[in-house]
Amino acid sequence: MEEKFWLDKWERNDIGFHEEMGNPMLAKYFQKLSLARGSRLLLPLCGKTGDIAWLKSREYAIAGVELSEIAVQQLFEALGLTPRIKVINELKRYSAENIDVFVGDILALKAQVLGPVDAIYDRAALVALPEDMRSQYTQHLMAITKIAPQLLIAFEYEQSQLAGPPFSISSEQVFDYYLADYHLKMLGSRDIPGGLKGLVPAREVAWLLSRR
């Protein structure tokens, strides 16, 4: 999946994947991460998700990564925050109180630039990447976070009936990517009303990944 694909979507405002009110699976299962208030979470490929406002309202700190600067600008505007902006190597960091969002390719983000995180919330990253990119992404994610615990939200549907993204991620694939480093627990699932993009029956599945 080329960068241009996502950048063009934000340029056209073709963002049907955006959840302004946040994801209900986050509210339902977030407590499974057992995080203290003030803990810092990494949201890879975060866009301008309403999940960030939900987390900040509960006094959690945010580290996000997003390819589109348009998305990040709109995020800070929606939060009512004026960002401090700094160029760091290949990335640009937008910062305000308890939030840092890095603009650019997540694979260019180094651990020392990211800083410590207590957990990962991945609703939009793994499902956005085609199969040939996922192993590199998951290995990089674990490296820069020191295998931080994760709340992972994935889609399951018949991939042959609909071209991604978002892509279908089976239980077997989740195990392939993460079993060597994490204990995995399926927390629950929900059917997507009307199907994915209104075209194919699908469900969202929540996973808890705890470091071995």
Q: What is the pLDDT of residues 170-183, one digit of tens each?
A: 999 999 999 999 99
Residue 54 marked ligand-binding: no
Fold annotation for 3-211: Rossmann fold (3.40.50)
Cα-Cα-Cα-Cα torsion 122, 127, 130, 133, nearest 10 degrees, comes to: 10
Report domain extents, the chain. Answer: 3-211
pLDDT of 5 reads: 75
Centre a 10 Å sphere on the Cβ of residue 113 and count the other Cβ atoms it contains. 15
DSSP conformational letter for 45? T
| Cβ-based neighbours of 115, under 8 Å, separated by 6 or more | 40, 63, 100
Residue 67 marked ligand-binding: no
In this structure, the strands spanning 202-211 and 182-191 are antiparallel
Q: What is the pLDDT of residues 13-72, one digit of tens each?
A: 765 554 666 899 999 999 999 999 999 999 999 999 999 999 999 999 999 999 999 999
Distance CA 198, CA 32 (A): 30
Checking if the pLDDT of 107 tops 70, the result is: yes
Distance CA 75, CA 19 (A): 12
Residue 55 marked ligand-binding: no
Two tokens at 30?
């977030």
Q: What is the pLDDT of residues 75-88, one digit of tens each?
A: 999 999 999 999 99
Residue 162 marked ligand-binding: no
For residues 162 and 200, the answer to whether their CB atoms sit within 8 Å is yes
For the four alpha carbons of 177, 51, 89 and 145, in that order, the dihedral sign comes to negative
Q: What is the pLDDT of residues 116-133, one digit of tens each?
A: 999 999 999 999 999 999
The model's confidence at residue 161, banded by pLDDT at 50, 70 and 90, is very high
Kindly state the average pLDDT of the residues 99-127. 97
pLDDT of 18 reads: 45
Share of the chain above pLDDT 70, in %: 94
